[in-house]
Structure 1
Amino acid sequence: MKKSARGQGAKAKLREYFIANVGQILESTTLQQVAGGSSEWARRIRELRNEQGMNIKTHNDLSELKPGQYILVNLKPIPSFERAISKETRAFVLDRNGFTCQMCGAVAGEPHPYDSSRKTRLHIGHIIDKSQGGTDDASNLRALCSVCNEGAANITLERPSSEKLLAQIRRSSGSDQLKVLQWLVGKFPKQTSDFLVKTKEI
């Protein structure tokens, strides 16, 4: 109960800080301090975005942001998703995954291989995110350590080459290709503008 109250307190502090600094690039070190030094600060930010609909962006969304930087673009809410994973489902997924992170292999309770200063803590993550139509069914869930869940250990995943990505995009429907285009334009607005200018010059 106390842990949950601390989490809610950290989330409220982060929410107020983002609103007070809307449009400003915020560093992870500052946000962790705002959250009272909580090790769960990144998770609270995801909850603000996914569950409360705050338009918070990271380097995954905007090219001008560096890893560890966040920005509340504006106060216009985005679609939010209620997390409704039961304790029974959490327990089932953790047991099924052998209490081991499915990205890096770290085992719950042991020193983390990428951050030996803290013990491995496991969370439940979605394979297909709810924002992309994923569900809370056990088949769409997996155990992830806090490091991988925060995106700090994405190096454990092999990144697809541009050739493979383009091959997949070419095979997709026109509507899906437009969604990819919209996402790319949103992430690279300056580069898109420069490209259009060069195209007109040719």
Structure 2
Amino acid sequence: MAKKPGSKQLILEFFLRNLGKILTSREIQKASGGASEWARRVRELRNEEGYQILSHKDRADLKPNQYVMETIERVPAFSRDISNETRAWVLERNGYTCQMCGVAAGDPDPLGGSRSVRLTMGHILDKSKGGDDSPHNLRAVCMNCNQGLQNTALPKPDRIHLLAQVRRATIEDQRVLLAWLLKKFNLKIENQNES
């Protein structure tokens, strides 16, 4: 008997069938077979498999519950290369307890009713900021705290501080930022050097 595709595969197939079309979170969840963790599967497709799935954070014309895959081209993705040995070493070092809230592996989950606490590896310096999978950049965190970390955003900088950061950036980083802003707002600039 053929194995039924998982929710991540169903979501990917849905995006591929609707390439370039704006999809809502409700449509994606329905396509996933009703998976409660559909948003996590979308993040995995984007961050771990390199699919360019855009949201309102990437394009100004998208609403918070809208997503679009414009191309089947994939970009380099974060790898999940934490070995079993590293995982065991970090868990042992951290006493099999969450380094954020202190719950121990196997304890009753304070937020999950009948579930038990499960620990995962959390990065001290996020991979998107240059962190790696070395034991010194990893800590044991429970699933609740890890999800909370993913949902926590840095406070938005005010305009003065943001402009100061951009001014201090390298020319190359400023060009990358400009290209991203032009794409986000669907703008084009004419070359001012042409006369």
**TM-score over 0.5 for the alignment?**
yes
User: TM-score, length-normalised on structure 2?
Assistant: 0.70
Q: Which has the higher helix share?
A: 1
Deviation string, structure 1 residues 149-177 (Cα, Å, up to 9, x no partner): 2x4x54xx422212111111111211111
1:26 maps to which of 23, 35, 52: 23
Which amino acid counterpart does residue 98 of structure 2 have in structure 1? F
Written as runs of structure 1 = structure 2, the 5 A alignment for 1:34-183 is 34-90=31-87, 92=90, 95=94, 98-99=97-98, 109-111=109-111, 124=121, 126=123, 127-130=125-128, 133-141=130-138, 143=141, 144-146=145-147, 148-149=149-150, 151=151, 153-154=152-153, 157-183=154-180
Number of residue pairs matched by the alignment: 177
Alpha carbons of structure 1 residues 72 and 181: separation in structure 2 relative to 1, 3 Å = same
Which 4+ residue blocks in structure 1 deviate beyond 6 angstroms? 105-108, 118-122
Q: What is the Cα deviation at residue 86 of structure 1?
A: 2.8
Q: What is the Cα deviation at residue 148 of structure 1?
A: 4.7
Q: Secondary structure at the match of 1:74?
A: strand
Q: What is the Cα deviation at residue 80 of structure 1?
A: 2.5
Question: CA–CA distance in 2 between the matches of 1:119 and 1:69?
Answer: 34
Report if aligned partners of 1:23, 1:74 keep a CA contact under 8 Å in 2: yes
Report if aligned partners of 1:106, 1:120 keep a CA contact under 8 Å in 2: no
Q: What is the Cα deviation at residue 95 of structure 1?
A: 3.8
Unaligned runs of 5+ in 1: 198-202
Indicate the residue corresponding to 1:187 in structure 2.
Answer: 184
Question: CA–CA distance in 2 between the matches of 1:80 and 1:68?
Answer: 23
Question: CA–CA distance in 1 between the matches of 2:117 and 2:25?
Answer: 20
Deviation string, structure 1 residues 131-161 (Cα, Å, up to 9, x no partner): x644222444464433552x4x54xx42221
Alpha carbons of structure 1 residues 97 and 162: separation in structure 2 relative to 1, 3 Å = farther
Question: CA–CA distance in 2 between the matches of 1:48 and 1:81?
Answer: 11
Q: Secondary structure at the match of 1:111?
A: coil
> Quick check: 135-144 or 37-46, which moved more?
135-144
Which structure has the bigger radius of gyration? 2
Question: CA–CA distance in 1 between the matches of 2:95 and 2:166?
Answer: 33
Percent of aligned pairs with the same residue? 40
Q: What is the Cα deviation at residue 71 of structure 1?
A: 0.8
Q: CA RMSD in A?
A: 3.7
| Alignment partner of 1:10 is 2:7 | yes
Which amino acid counterpart does residue 110 of structure 1 have in structure 2? P
Q: What is the Cα deviation at residue 89 of structure 1?
A: 4.1
Q: Secondary structure at the match of 1:55?
A: strand
Unaligned runs of 5+ in 2: 191-195
Alpha carbons of structure 1 residues 181 and 111: separation in structure 2 relative to 1, 3 Å = same
Q: What is the Cα deviation at residue 13 of structure 1?
A: 0.5
Report if aligned partners of 1:23, 1:71 keep a CA contact under 8 Å in 2: yes
